[in-house]
Each structure stands twice: as structure tokens, then as C-alpha cells.
Amino acid sequence: MKGMDVKKYLPDLNLIHTSEEAFNAFSIEKICDRENYGPFSLYFCGAPKFWDFIKEQDRKDVFILFSKKFYEKNEEEISQTLKEGELAGYIENLPLGMSFVSKPFYDEVVKGDNDEVDGRQLGTADIHPTAVIAQHVFIGANVKIGANVRILPGTVVSSHCSIGKGTTLFPNVTLMPRTHIGENCRIHSGSVIGADGFGYNFDKGVHHKVWHMGGVVIGNDVEIGTNVSIDQGTFSPSLIGNGVKIDNLVQVGHNCKLADGVILCGQVGLAGSVKVGAYTVMGGQAGVGPDLEIGSQTQVGGGAGVTGNLGDKEIVAGYPARPIKEWLKGLAYIRKMTLKK
């Protein structure tokens, strides 16, 4: 879209060191974040971590959209950092603007989807001759399926998905558009990969949806249990590394990134934008709050509630999650006090 089209969804847009003519002519092809940053993009910046990132980037052909509050607080630094010809602006309510402007980009991304007519009938599905596809499987447009893949009854593989060789999808799995599965994976019945993340911005009595289009990328040798939900990323993919093992009834929120070898036991819940380091293990019903980072080879006890970042090789339990020795001492003290007569 041209800048003039974006302005229709951002009526309170104020340009910074940018002429109306230059912005109106600027071509914006996608919304980007730190993961898919690149030219001809719109980048949202309303917090120091986003500003620190973009200060170090080549900002040519990127339109930076600030929140008014952040811009006014950092106006001097922003003015000194931006070079002539770089494009920027601000609006009053950045989250609400994200809801409004994400919709036309979403519409552009999904217009090539076709999940009403099977891709085998359309002639757009690329299926290896050794793949085994059961009856009552739906294949969307432009799907690619590798050698020795097995897809069992009731499964839906939506548009623009790909499945690597040797992978098995058990009955009634759903892959939403732009889900990419690696080699030798096993996804068990009832799991949904790539549904929209739970993202809304509230204004004047209405929850305004943030439109998701990032998809999911799953590595090799991953096993996913029954009735697991892995949400797609907002503007770039949610990522599941090689060798990850996910038990039944697990929720992985949008924009999460699981490194290689992570284990999530039953009913674990990860909020959006959680990063989990390699070979970390989370016990059953553990929960992690949004935007947190958990180090490598860390152990999170069953039922724990993680409310802050964790480093490498930490062992935590309880709510809020604490080092396990501290948590056990606390339990012992409480027990001692309750047994006193």
C-alpha cells in the first residue's frame, strides 16, 4: 500500500521530518517487527526495546510509527537519530493503530488463499508421489507435501502450508495457512497449528482485533501431543525448534520462540512472545507470562507461575516462581506455622 492508503486507517497521523508528498508516495509492502525487519515496511515503536533495536538498523525504506507519548518523551534523541529522507510519524494510541492498520495488510496476505476447493482439484498442490493421504483429508491451495508423509483422516492442511519428508499428521489435525512443518515430525489428533493469536486492543467499549498473518515454522523431529494449540505470529512466524517435544493440552501463544530440545509437559501455557532457551523443561500446568525470556537448560516445576525472566540452568517452582530451595523452605515454614497449637 502507498502511504496515502495507510493514512486512511490512521487519521490522527502526524509526520516527523517527513513531507506529505514523500510519505504519500512511499510503498509499504508489509508490517515488520524485529524478526522480519526489512525495507518497504511499517515498524511500530512504542517502547525503549523497539527504539533501541531500530536505532541500530538501516532505516532506509522503513516507516517508523511512534506512539505520541514515547515520541514526546524522546523527541530530542529521535530528532538527532533520524537522518534526512528517513520516514517517521506518531499517533496517539499506537496499539489501536496496530489493530486498524493490520487489517488491510492481512487482507492482502490472505487473498491468495483458497480453502474452499481442494488444491488437488485446483492443480496447485505439490504432493510427493510417496506421500500417503487418507480419505477425508483437505489440502488447500499451494500446499507442498514431501516424501513419505502420512496424513490421516479428517486432517486439514490449509493454503500455503508445507510438510517435510517423513512427517505424520494423525486424525483431525488442523494446519492453518502459512504453517511450515519440518521433517520426521509427529502431530497428534486434535491439535491446531497456526490459529490467530489472542490479540485485542480496547477502546470505547470495543475490543479491536490485531490481525495475525505471521504463520508458524516448526523444525525437524518435533512431536506434538493431542489438542495442542500453537498460535501463529502476528507479523512474523512463531518458531518451534528442532527436537521439541510438546505434551497434550498445551497452549503456545503468538510470537513464541522455542529453541531446540525444549520439553513442555501437559497443560503448560505460554503467553505471547515468550522465548524459551534450548533444552529447558516445563512441568505440567506451568504458566509463563507475556514477553518473558527463559534461559537454556532451565527447569520449571509443575504448576509454577513464571512472572519474570529466568537465566540458564535455573530450577524454579511455585507462584510466583522462585528458586526451588527457597520455595521448599517457604512451604516448610508455612507447614510448621499451621501445625503449631
- How does pLDDT run across 250-274, given as a tens digit for each residue? 999 999 999 999 999 999 999 999 9
So what's the pLDDT on residue 44?
A: 97
Confidence category of residue 341, pLDDT binned at 50, 70, 90: low
Nearest CA to 22 among 54, 61, 79?
61
Strands 132-133 and 150-151: parallel
Cα separation of 204 and 243, whole Å? 45
So what's the pLDDT on residue 18?
A: 85
So what's the pLDDT on residue 17?
A: 82
- How does pLDDT run across 63-73, given as a tens digit for each residue? 999 999 999 99
Radius of gyration of the chain (CA): 23
What residues form DSSP beta bridges with 306? 288
**Res 318 pLDDT > 70:** yes
- How does pLDDT run across 80-112, given as a tens digit for each residue? 999 988 999 999 999 999 999 999 999 999 998
So what's the pLDDT on residue 323?
A: 95
**Res 174 pLDDT > 70:** yes
- How does pLDDT run across 25-34, given as a tens digit for each residue? 999 999 999 9
Catalytic residue numbers, as ranges: 254
Which helix (H) or strand (E) is 247 found in, with range? none
Confidence category of residue 45, pLDDT binned at 50, 70, 90: very high
List own/partner pairs for 8-11 with CB under 8 A and 24 or more apart. Answer: 9/97, 9/100, 9/101, 9/103, 9/104, 10/65, 10/91, 10/97, 10/100, 10/101
Domains and CATH numbers, the chain: 3-110 (3.40.1390.10)
**Res 242 pLDDT > 80:** yes
**Res 334 pLDDT > 90:** no
